A and B are shown apart, each in its own frame.
Chain A
């Protein structure tokens, strides 16, 4: 059996240019497959993240603001409206509520963020309770120190992304007379959050009061509570909150999620289409190259069969060759794809104005292996057709008509 692999391997070496074509097309197929699958994978992840972020099923705001609650988030307007912090605890006590995250709208500040000058709404959030921003960032594992901020993709985010992977490039922004370290950047949403700068609630409270710094917020007040309910319970919880007489308005937040889903869906479909086209195309490619290969091997197959090789042995020999070429090619292609994507991820994040959560390297490896497997499988399947054609004829015919 080992001589089967020897023959297959030596054939690959002997016809090195043709083998290179074969491996090369497998590599290109693997590369494109890797890239498109990678994007699909990323988008699946960000879609999940997105539904969690905008999975704020309910927005609770002070009474009278209600009608504008959704608009406010979309437009990123910060207006001074407050309600007591105790509202958060009250809502949290409803059993059907899973998570609550308070946010405090501070002020719109004119400053320079990452070389971008502009008016940025500044919002305070509670990193412990936050369940929205957390999943809407490129790097989900980062934690926030007191004077760290998260910025929207337009609030200097584009510039920031250039330095995304550079551990030594530290970006600061001055807010209310204090230097803040930019720790993370939000995905683009096409909504108000794109311009917003988020700082920690405790930092905001600490800075408030000293009038010369320009921040004056009432004590123990918040502006909005984002609520995540148990699935399907949003209507029920809404009524529960209203019955509590907290002097608040409750708005549903689910409409926002659909906006994002809508944005992503065509790209997702396109990627799936790409993958399908890729698989079919690489199949044809391998089939074409393999037809030539099998014709070259026609005489050899005839001779092997004359020696007593059954059809299966000949199948195995040729499919071994297809498998080797496919494996070598696809591993190069997958590696190239991975290198290309991970090496330029800051750039990709910048130019693709869609939320892309990059898979970590283990998922990347998984994708690479899956792609290798797929391409190798395609190679073998595609080779099957021309091989079959040759094996149907009589051995003597293969020997006479085949070339050497």
Chain B
């Protein structure tokens, strides 16, 4: 369970001005949840995801993980938590440019965890699920944007994380591939995994069992939309 309590994240634009990327946002994610985070560009979705995944520290507020205040954790404990529990798909290209797709997917095993020969078979299987088998030896620069995104998803899944934090994983994909990925995520969620999904696409957002709407860094409760209740 992840509980974000009154999370504020502010950046100082210049000496006088500060901007709130997030402004007292609270949300609780139970394990097994599929939370869709929606909102206009710049509303703070990526920031929220980063804070929930312990990649960034909030300016104010508390992140509770399984009842513990994560801000009190040491760097190595946070790293361990990320390595064992979290899988990330970022909005921007995030593959290591000097490693090919296969090496990138195996990276969490080889560099951080411990690599075993059977991991390679698992990687092959995940690559097949995201439709990248043909590209396993390609380098990131040789892939299209959508392919890179899918490779990043494969890498996020290799450690079999309990929580998947995905920032527009379908952003650069055509409908068919987007559906493939959504199907994958749903299947993943049905196996009891928690998913935090950022998307602009309200259609995709409905795949989740809950929706969090953000507007200018705040939870948007005006409910001006297609009537989906959360």
Q: Which of A117-125, A140-148, A167-175, A304-312 forms contacts with chain B?
A: A304-312
Q: A298-342: contact bitstring with B at CB < 8 Å (1 yes, 0 no)?
A: 001011111111111100010000000000000000000000000
Q: Name which residue of chain B comes closest to A302, CB basis.
A: B55
Most chain B CB atoms below 10 A, which of A6, A395, A404: A395
Contact in complex: B55, A308 (CB < 8 Å) = no
Closest 4 CB pairs of A and B: A308-B83, A10-B98, A396-B56, A3-B110
Q: Does A11 contact B (CB under 8 A)?
A: yes
Contact in complex: A307, B55 (CB < 8 Å) = no
Contact in complex: B55, A306 (CB < 8 Å) = yes
Cβ–Cβ < 8 Å partners of A317 in chain B: 111
Contact in complex: B84, A396 (CB < 8 Å) = no
Mind listing 18 A-B residue pairs with CB under 8 Å? A1-B110, A1-B111, A2-B110, A6-B99, A6-B103, A302-B55, A303-B90, A304-B111, A306-B55, A306-B88, A307-B82, A308-B83, A308-B84, A308-B113, A310-B75, A394-B56, A396-B55, A404-B93
Q: Name which residue of chain B comes closest to A300, CB basis.
A: B96
Q: Does A4 contact B (CB under 8 A)?
A: yes
Within 8 A of A (CB), among B72-90: 75-76, 79-84, 86, 88, 90
Q: Does A233 contact B (CB under 8 A)?
A: no
Q: Does B107 contact A (CB under 8 A)?
A: yes
Q: Contact partner of B97 among A4, A312, A404, CB < 8 A?
A: A404
C-alpha spacing A365/B159, complex, angstroms: 48
Q: Does A224 contact B (CB under 8 A)?
A: no
Q: Does A7 contact B (CB under 8 A)?
A: yes
Contact in complex: B94, A7 (CB < 8 Å) = no
Contact in complex: B79, A14 (CB < 8 Å) = no
Cβ–Cβ < 8 Å partners of A2 in chain B: 110
Known: A303-B96, A396-B56, A404-B93. 8 other contacts (CB 8 A): A3-B106, A10-B99, A304-B107, A306-B88, A307-B82, A307-B155, A308-B81, A308-B112
Nearest Cβ distance between residue A94 and chain B, in whole angstroms?
73
Q: Contact partner of B79 among A1, A4, A302, A309, CB < 8 A?
A: A309
Contact in complex: B93, A14 (CB < 8 Å) = no
Contact in complex: A4, B111 (CB < 8 Å) = yes
**Using a CB–CB distance below 8 Å, which chain B residues touch chain A?**
50, 53, 55-57, 75-76, 79-84, 86, 88, 90, 92-94, 96-99, 103, 106-108, 110-113, 115, 155, 159
**Using a CB–CB distance below 8 Å, which chain A residues touch chain B?**
1-4, 6-7, 10-11, 14, 300, 302-313, 317, 394-397, 399, 404
Most chain A CB atoms below 10 A, which of B50, B99, B103, B155: B50
Q: Name which residue of chain B comes closest to A393, CB basis.
A: B56
Contact in complex: A310, B76 (CB < 8 Å) = yes
Contact in complex: B112, A307 (CB < 8 Å) = yes
Cβ–Cβ < 8 Å partners of A397 in chain B: 56
Asked whether A396 and B111 contact (CB < 8 A) given A7-B98, A311-B76, the answer is: no
Asked whether A309 and B55 contact (CB < 8 A) given A3-B103, A300-B96, A303-B94, the answer is: no
Q: Name which residue of chain B comes closest to A12, CB basis.
A: B98
Contact in complex: A310, B99 (CB < 8 Å) = no
Most chain A CB atoms below 10 A, which of B80, B86, B88, B115: B88
Q: Contact partner of B99 among A7, A302, A309, A399, CB < 8 A?
A: A7
C-alpha spacing A303/B90, complex, angstroms: 9
Nearest Cβ distance between residue A223 and chain B, in whole angstroms?
77
C-alpha spacing A394/B107, complex, angstroms: 21
Asked whether A313 and B98 contact (CB < 8 A) given A3-B103, A306-B53, A396-B50, the answer is: no
Contact in complex: B82, A308 (CB < 8 Å) = yes
Nearest Cβ distance between residue A33 and chain B, in whole angstroms?
31
Q: Name which residue of chain A comes closest to B75, CB basis.
A: A311
Q: Name which residue of chain B comes closest to A310, CB basis.
A: B79
Q: Name which residue of chain B comes closest to A305, CB basis.
A: B79
Cβ–Cβ < 8 Å partners of A394 in chain B: 55-57
Nearest Cβ distance between residue B98 and chain A, in whole angstroms?
4
C-alpha spacing A4/B97, complex, angstroms: 14
Q: Contact partner of B108 among A1, A307, A312, A395, CB < 8 A?
A: A307
Contact in complex: B80, A308 (CB < 8 Å) = yes
C-alpha spacing A1/B103, complex, angstroms: 13
Nearest Cβ distance between residue A186 and chain B, in whole angstroms?
59
Most chain B CB atoms below 10 A, which of A11, A308, A404: A308
Q: Name which residue of chain B comes closest to A3, CB basis.
A: B110
C-alpha spacing A311/B77, complex, angstroms: 11
